[in-house]
Amino acid sequence: GENVEQHPSTLSVQEGDSAVIKCTYSDSASNYFPWYKQELGKRPQLIIDIRSNVGEKKDQRIAVTLNKTAKHFSLHITETQPEDSAVYFCAASGWDGGSQGNLIFGKGTKLSVKP
Amino acid sequence: DTGVSQDPRHKITKRGQNVTFRCDPISEHNRLYWYRQTLGQGPEFLTYFQNEAQLEKSRLLSDRFSAERPKGSFSTLEIQRTEQGDSAMYLCASSSQGAPYEQYFGPGTRLTVT
Mean pLDDT of chain A: 92
Q: What is the dihedral of CA A5, B4, B9, B34, to 10 degrees?
A: -50
The per-residue pLDDT for A73 is 97
Interface of A with B in 47-66 (CB under 8 A): 49, 51
pLDDT tens string A86-109: 999 999 987 655 446 789 999 999
The per-residue pLDDT for B106 is 97
The per-residue pLDDT for A70 is 94
Q: Which residues contact B1 (CB under 8 A, 6 or more apart)?
A: none
Name the residue among B37, B24, B38, B45 with its Cα closest to residue B94.
B24
| Average pLDDT for A34-55 | 92
Q: Which residues contact B20 (CB under 8 A, 6 or more apart)?
A: B76, B77, B78, B79
Q: Which amino acid is at A114?
A: K
Q: Is A34 on the interface with B (CB under 8 A)?
A: yes
Q: Which residues in B lie closer than 8 A to residue A43 (C-beta atoms)?
A: 4, 91, 105-108
Residue B97 has pLDDT above 80, yes or no: no
Contact at CB, A49 and B58, closer than 8 angstroms: no
